[in-house]
Amino acid sequence: MMWKEKYRIGVEHIDEQHKELFKRVFNFLQTVQSKENWEDKLEKVKETMAFMKDYVIVHFNDEEIYQEQIGYPDIETHKEVHSNFKEEVHDYVRSFEQEGFDEEKIQEFGAKLMTWLIMHVAKMDQEIGRYVKAKGGEA
């Protein structure tokens, strides 16, 4: 699994969601790169797509609610990044629905998910934890 303790921001609920996202994306990448036959692969790919489409919305909403509760100063930028990523996930989903599942495009999607997750959780979300600690609270 790709989760690392250094990604923890200190907000239990959000850290658990991040762990779940990492686990799903990692499993997705393993499936895509496996030697399984295409039909078996495709079933897992579709499951992951459905999960990601819903879960990123749940997770982003929870993260944004938390940011509102703590008066996080950079919330608007964070919301915009979330919104752009949701749109990107939906673009892939639409593309797969309209054009079918192409193995190269699926690999591209998996790589994009992992890159985005690491960049976002390891960089942007860390700022939330730092902000809470700087205010003297526990994240």
Neighbours of 29 (CB within 10 A): 19
List CB contacts of 103: < 8 A, sequence separation 6 or more. Answer: 32, 38
Radius of gyration of the chain from Cα atoms? 16
Tens digits of residue pLDDT in 29-78: 888 888 878 788 888 888 888 888 888 889 999 999 999 999 999 999 99
Buried b (16+ CB within 10 A) or exposed e, 55-87: bbeebbeebeebbeeeebeebeebeebbeebee
C-alpha 27/C-alpha 13 separation (Å) is 21
Q: Is 113 left (phi over 0), alpha (psi -120 to 50) or beta?
A: alpha
Highest-scoring range by mean pLDDT, 62-66, 90-94, 95-99, 132-136 = 62-66
Q: Is 118 in contact with 2 (CB distance < 8 Å)?
A: yes
User: Across the chain, what does the average pLDDT equal?
Assistant: 88
Q: Is 50 in contact with 29 (CB distance < 8 Å)?
A: no
Q: 35-130 — its CATH code?
A: 1.20.120.50
